[in-house]
Amino acid sequence: MVNNTNKKLDQLNQEVESLRDRTNRLEKECLKNEQDYRNTSEQLELAINKNKDLTKRLKQNENTLRGIENEYDKAVLERDALENENNSFNTEHTLLNTDIDALLLQIIEYEKINKELQL
């Protein structure tokens, strides 16, 4: 019976040792998982902060772009107004040239008449 009890004690000791080993492995794995969690949390926090910074920069760039677009729209309107003014001046120039040509023809005719009268 003592022999039987010793065997049982040995078996229990082996089970206890096995459970101790398993517990140690689980504790190590738990510590590793905890460290992985901390590392992942730090990386996530860094990514969140970077995302906030990038979002802020994006909004600033969008505002800058809107300002540039507004300036561009104003420049296009000004260009269109200048083109209209230029077209108006070209039309006026053409009319004035036509009037000048007509006047030059009249001058030439009057000079001919004047020469004829002097003869």
Burial of 74 (0-12, 13-18, 19+ CB in 10 A): exposed
Name the H helices within 1-119: 2-118
In the chain, domain spans:
1-86
Q: Helix, strand or coil for residue 1?
A: coil
- What pTM, to 2 d.p., does this model score? 0.55
Contacts of 57 (CB under 8 A, 6+ apart): none
pLDDT, greater one: 4 or 39: 39
Residue pLDDT, tens place only, 43-58: 999 999 999 999 999 9
Residue pLDDT, tens place only, 45-101: 999 999 999 999 999 999 999 999 999 999 999 999 999 999 999 999 999 999 999
Q: Helix, strand or coil for residue 119?
A: coil
